[in-house]
Amino acid sequence: MFGLVFSRRFSMAHRLTAGLSEKCALPHGHNETVTVRLTATQPQRLDGAANMVEPFERAKARWHGWIDDAVDHAFQVNAADPLLGWFRQHEPTRAARLLVTPGDPTTEMLACLMMTKISAFLAADGGVLRCASIRIEETPTNSVTFDGDPAAFLPEGLPADAWWHRADASINDLGAAA
């Protein structure tokens, strides 16, 4: 089967506060690369004319738009991080630039949330493609890969309408909770 593979770079900052990585408890940043592998939901032969699964431009437009406009330079924070309250009180406009995760914003969590998000985009685009796997390179020496169903690996009890399920530009649900 064909796989359409797209990579996009983004800058981010985060901090991990749950206690497993004390060195990462202060805000710090990475230049990361996310790579997705898309496959056809109904694989077919090449037609002998256009010979495409789907034009690259169409397949990646919404996804790369979200990475560039919403994820790039966002600050990734645990939903329980007190910094969230600080931003909401002192810099509410900038709170929109916080990518909020259930628990620490690790690369594993980001892989699951991003795979759910791109799946929502692909479904909204007609469901011609699905995301078969995702790889996030956090640093030049550390990457996380994921394939399968993110729902089976995300923590239980998360809202079914959270930002990662929606085919929109959201990276948090702060507006909904305000």
- Which residues here bind ligand LPXRUNBV, judged by CB under 6 A? 21, 24, 28, 106-108, 138-139, 141-142
Going by DSSP bridges, is the β-strand pair 74-78/4-14 parallel, antiparallel, or unpaired?
A: parallel
Q: List the one residue out of 23, 121, 21 whose CA is nearest residue 69.
A: 121
- Are the C-beta atoms of 12 and 73 separated by less than 8 Å? yes
* Minimum gap (Å) between residue 110 Cβ and ligand LPXRUNBV: 8
* Minimum gap (Å) between residue 139 Cβ and ligand LPXRUNBV: 3
Position of minimal CB gap to ligand LPXRUNBV: 139
The token pair that represents 167 in the structure block: 């085919």
* Minimum gap (Å) between residue 99 Cβ and ligand LPXRUNBV: 14
* Minimum gap (Å) between residue 17 Cβ and ligand LPXRUNBV: 12
* Minimum gap (Å) between residue 20 Cβ and ligand LPXRUNBV: 7
Q: Would you say 44 or 141 has its CB closer to ligand LPXRUNBV?
A: 141
Amino acid found at 57: E
User: Is 86 strand, coil or helix?
Assistant: helix
Q: Would you say 19 or 43 has its CB closer to ligand LPXRUNBV?
A: 19
Check residue 118 and report its DSSP letter: H
Helix, strand, coil distribution of the chain in percent, nearest 5: 35, 30, 40
* Minimum gap (Å) between residue 30 Cβ and ligand LPXRUNBV: 7
- Are the C-beta atoms of 128 and 54 separated by less than 8 Å? yes
One DSSP character per residue, 18-55 reads SSS-GGGSS-EEEEEEEEEEEEESS-----SSS--SS-
